[in-house]
């Protein structure tokens, strides 16, 4: 998967590329990550990358010409590297809320150019003319689009074949099947009197799988009932959820 990033702080992405799942994916060339910094296109003495908003008001916007130069360069490189026209993504609170379904769509959308905004954001005409999709990682305001971009890249990378090792599977990740994750346990068997559920020590893999699905369904029902709305449960899932509800009835 080819991803171009437009950011004033490309060094922030070292947190993603120097270690962990994405770091290994880059090393294994499952993912190609390239960066364009609008500041590299600044021609004035101060290498300006921000500009004042029309109509006044607090804060600045990203300067149009340096931003667009970086986007165009990234888009050009995407086509050169992949032969495909990239999807240009802009991260902002005004975007579509990112969820696993959206991540799956982005992970299979071909090359991406991800634009990380700073200041109060970018000129609306740049959104209209140069951005294909606007996405938000949540209803809160951050200092920059770099962390949202890293969230998107990390989540998408996990879905690229060959990125996750055998030791962790994107398939069992919560939200991959639209449910919350089941509880997990590791050594020791007792922590301050709290035991590991017996079934997990039984070696009965069918029972363990059943227990985990039941816990996922139950926790989703308890904590995020919205995720179950419109979802069709099969007979087994209905049975498990009903068992969970009975066991947890107050």
Ligand X SMILES: Nc1nonc1C(=O)NC1CCNCC1
Interface with ligand X (CB under 6 A):
91-93, 117-118, 120-121, 136-138, 140-142, 144-145, 148
Q: Binding site membership: which residues?
A: 117, 137-142
Shortest separation between residue 131's beta carbon and ligand X, angstroms: 13
Would you say 12 or 142 has its CB closer to ligand X? 142
Would you say 48 or 242 has its CB closer to ligand X? 48
- DSSP-assigned letter for residue 197: P
Shortest separation between residue 40's beta carbon and ligand X, angstroms: 20
Q: Binding site membership for S-adenosyl-L-methionine: which residues?
A: 117, 137-142
CA 103, 158, 241 angle in degrees (round to 5)? 70
170: nearest Cα among 180, 160, 179: 160
Would you say 61 or 179 has its CB closer to ligand X? 61
Shortest separation between residue 76's beta carbon and ligand X, angstroms: 25
Would you say 2 or 9 has its CB closer to ligand X? 9
Written as one string, the DSSP assignment of 141-189 is --S-SHHHHHHHHHHHHTTSTTTS-TTS-TTTSTTTSSSPPPP---S-S
Q: Active-site positions?
A: 93, 120, 158, 173
What are the C-alpha distances in Å from 152 to residues 141, 170, 178, 222?
16, 15, 18, 27
Contact 113, 89 (CB under 8 A): yes
Contact 194, 65 (CB under 8 A): no
């Amino acid at each position: 998967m080819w991803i171009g990033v437009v950011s004033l702080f490309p060094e922030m992405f070292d947190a993603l590329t120097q270690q962990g799942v994405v770091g290994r994916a880059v090393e294994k060339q499952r993912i190609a990550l390239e960066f364009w910094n609008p500041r590299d296109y600044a021609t004035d003495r101060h290498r300006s990358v921000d500009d004042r908003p029309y109509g006044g008001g607090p804060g600045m916007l990203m300067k149009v010409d340096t931003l667009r130069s970086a986007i165009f360069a990234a888009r050009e490189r995407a086509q050169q590297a992949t032969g495909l026209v990239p999807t240009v993504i802009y991260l902002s609170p005004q975007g579509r809320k990112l969820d696993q379904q959206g991540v799956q769509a982005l992970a299979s959308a071909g090359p991406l150019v991800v634009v990380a905004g700073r200041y109060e954001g970018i000129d609306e005409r740049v959104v209209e003319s140069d951005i294909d999709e606007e996405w938000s990682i949540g209803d809160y305001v951050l200092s920059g689009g770099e962390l949202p971009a890293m969230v998107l890249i990390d989540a998408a990378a996990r879905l690229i074949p060959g990125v996750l090792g055998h030791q962790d599977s994107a398939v069992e990740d919560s939200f991959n099947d639209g449910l919350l994750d089941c509880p997990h346990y590791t050594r020791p068997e007792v922590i301050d009197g709290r035991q590991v559920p017996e079934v997990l020590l039984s070696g009965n893999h069918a029972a363990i799988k059943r227990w985990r699905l039941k816990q996922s369904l139950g926790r989703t029902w308890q904590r995020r009932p919205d995720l179950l709305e419109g979802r069709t449960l099969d007979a087994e899932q209905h049975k498990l959820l009903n068992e969970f509800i009975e066991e947890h009835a107050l």
